Structure 1
C-alpha cells in the first residue's frame, strides 16, 4: 500500500520550492518532483532556464556564466531552502547540495536529513 503521508510531503515540498523560486527569480521551473529516500530529500526540477539563459548556454563562456550565477544564487539562498525543508519535514537538514545541467535545463537539489525521514513517515 502506498504511503500517502510520504506522497503528500513530497508534493508539498515540490510546491513550496517552486513557489519560493518564483518569488526569487520571477519564474519557477516547469515541473518539479520530490523523492524522499531514507535520510535524503531529492528534488528534480525541469525547465529551469530563463529565455536569456537558454541563449547564453549555446556559447561555451555563456554556459560557465549561467552555471556560476546559479551556484551563487543557490549559495545566497541555501538557508531559506533548508528552512523550507525543515519546516515541512520536521527534521533538521545536515547539508544540502545542488547542481544544474545547462544541457537539459534541469536542476537537482539534495538535502541530507538528520534522521531516516522515509522510515519516520512509515510509522
Structure 2
C-alpha cells in the first residue's frame, strides 16, 4: 500500500477523533480509515458512553441510543463531510452512517467525486 495513502487515512482518522472529542467530550477507542476507490470508509470502535452501554442492554434503550446518535449525525453531517473534503481535496457526493449498539461501533461511508485510490496510486508513481 502506498505510503501517501496510509498517511492520508491516518490524517482523516485523527481529524475525526478530534471532532468526536469536541462534540461528545470523548473520542472512540479506535478509529481506522480506509480509502477504497471512490469511497472513504471510517470505522469507529468503542463509541458508546458508559450511560449508552447501560441503555443498550434493553430494547427501548437501544432504540433511544440509535435515534439520538442518528440525530447527532444529521446535525453534524456537514462537519464530517468537510473533514473528508479538506483532507482528500474531493467533493463528497453522499455520506452514510450506521451504529452497532451490539458491538459499540459506528461506520461512516463517504462517496467522493473521483476514484481517490487510483489518484493516490498515480501520485505515488511520480
TM-score by length of 2: 0.96
For 1:44 and 1:81, the matched residues in 2 are separated by: 13
- 1:42 equivalent in alignment to 2:41: yes
**Unmatched tracts of structure 2, length 5 or more:** none
The CA deviation at 1:43 is 0.6
The CA deviation at 1:111 is 0.2
Q: Which residue of 2 aligns with 1:111?
A: 110
Q: Secondary structure at the match of 2:97?
A: strand
For 2:80 and 2:25, the matched residues in 1 are separated by: 16
CA RMSD of aligned residues (A): 0.4
Q: Secondary structure at the match of 1:115?
A: coil
Aligned residues: 122
Q: Which residue of 2 aligns with 1:121?
A: 120
Q: Secondary structure at the match of 2:90?
A: coil
Alignment of 1:69-108 (within 5 A): 69-108=68-107
**Unmatched tracts of structure 1, length 5 or more:** none
The CA deviation at 1:77 is 0.2
TM-score by length of 1: 0.98
Q: Which residue of 1 aligns with 2:18?
A: 19
For 2:54 and 2:114, the matched residues in 1 are separated by: 42
For 2:22 and 2:76, the matched residues in 1 are separated by: 12
